[in-house]
Amino acid sequence: MTLHKEGMKILRNEIIIFSILNYLAYSTIDYTHEYFVYFITALTSFLFIMSINFFRVPNRKLERKEKTVYSPCDGKVVVIEETEEIEFYKDKRIQVSIFMSPLNVHNQLYPISGEVEYTKYHPGKYLVAWHPKSSLLNERSTVVVKNDKISVLFRQIAGAVARRIVTYAKVGDVATSSDEYGFIKFGSRVDVFLPVGTKINVKLNEIVKAGQSAIANY
């Protein structure tokens, strides 16, 4: 396991702030309030451990089979439905949405190989990630990758806690299935839009892993 680069500044700041809080607690609070000191130590330790867990990047054997759409993130499948994709394709698509809790790994991987033909960042609200309107109203970032067989749109969506989406993909980039393309900080969701008729391999409430779970075949 390694720590993601997006977390290094946050973890460094937490070390400084938590160290100061613990120093002030131990140096200014008298022995009659020692339980409060223990509480501060326990709380800051818990928060720091949770941050390390959030920014972890586990060592995994990632799949790269042809004609396979891999999950772009860890999480639970919360939507599988035919819907109108209004941003790029402007036609009917199969939407597969994956919700990430704060306990999930939060980097995102390309679901297919191909060329990046579209990217767009949208500022927005911070509704809970499972809200039906979150894909249209929340802060989000859309990427489209196309190869000679399929075009897939995938959208990072901020949740109620998330406040920053990072997308590394740029138009013209060569995307390799299961390589990293982005990161969402603190709770979120990813929507994947596939051509109608694509064979879906997952079910509602199924737990998937980025770069390992085949959510569809084409």
CATH of the domain at 161: 2.70.70
Q: How far apart are CA 166 and CA 200, in angstroms?
A: 28
Q: How confident is the model at residue 207 (pLDDT cuts 50, 70, 90)?
A: very high
Instruction: Say if residue 140 is in the same domain as residue 39.
Output: no
Model confidence at 163: pLDDT above 80: no
pLDDT of residue 53: 81
Structural domains in the chain (count): 2
Residue 62 lies in a domain: no
Angstrom CA distances, 16 to 29, 39, 47, 176, 207, stand at 20, 18, 13, 38, 36
Residue 129 lies in a domain: yes
Instruction: Say if residue 48 is in the same domain as residue 76.
Output: no
pLDDT of residue 127: 62
**Average pLDDT rounded to a whole number, residues 188-202:** 95
Residue 63 lies in a domain: no
pLDDT of residue 172: 97
**Average pLDDT rounded to a whole number, residues 140-168:** 89
Model confidence at 1: pLDDT above 70: yes
Model confidence at 120: pLDDT above 90: yes
Instruction: Say if residue 13 is in the same domain as residue 100.
Output: no
Instruction: Say if residue 190 is in the same domain as residue 90.
Output: yes
- Catalytic residue (choose from 135, 177, 178, 188): 188
pLDDT of residue 133: 58
Q: How far apart are CA 96 and CA 126, in angstroms?
A: 20
Residue 151 lies in a domain: yes
**Residue 26: what residue type?**
Y
**Average pLDDT rounded to a whole number, residues 177-203:** 92
Structure tokens at 70: 């891999």
Residue 53 lies in a domain: yes
**Average pLDDT rounded to a whole number, residues 112-126:** 90
Model confidence at 94: pLDDT above 90: yes
Instruction: Say if residue 187 is in the same domain as residue 86.
Output: yes
Residue with tokens 């959208």: 155
Model confidence at 109: pLDDT above 90: yes
Mean pLDDT of the chain: 88
Instruction: Say if residue 36 is in the same domain as residue 98.
Output: no
Instruction: Say if residue 142 is in the same domain as residue 91.
Output: yes
- 178's CB contacts (< 8 A; 6+ apart) are 62, 63, 64, 70, 109, 110, 210, 211
pLDDT of residue 32: 64
Tell me the per-residue pLDDT of 16-70, one tens digit each, with 9 for 90 and over: 999 998 888 888 877 667 788 889 899 999 989 988 887 888 888 887 898 999 9
User: Which range of residues forms the domain containing residue 136?
Assistant: 68-217
Instruction: Say if residue 88 is in the same domain as residue 46.
Output: no
- 188 is annotated as an active-site residue: yes
Percent of the chain residues topping a pLDDT of 70: 90
